[in-house]
Amino acid sequence: MELPPRSPNGSEKCPRGAELAASSTGSTLCASSSRSESVWTGAPRSRWDIYHKPLIVVAVGAAIFLFGVVITSLACFLSKHKKVYKMSGPAFLSLGLMLLVCGLVWIPIIRKKQKQRQKSQFLQSLKSFFFNR
User: What's the length of the chain?
Assistant: 133
pTM value is 0.59
Question: Exposed (0-12), middle (13-18) or buried (19+): which is 99, by Cβ within 10 Å?
Answer: buried
Closest CA to 37 of 52, 29, 49: 49
**What residues form DSSP beta bridges with 29?**
21
- Which helix (H) or strand (E) segment is 35 a member of? none
As a whole number of angstroms, the longest Cα–Cα distance in the chain is: 81
Residues 47-63: tens digit of each pLDDT: 888 889 999 999 999 99
What is residue 25's predicted lDDT score, i.e. its pLDDT?
A: 53
Name the pLDDT band for 8 (thresholds 50, 70, 90): low
| Torsion of the alpha carbons at 99, 101, 104 and 109, rounded to the nearest 10 | -100
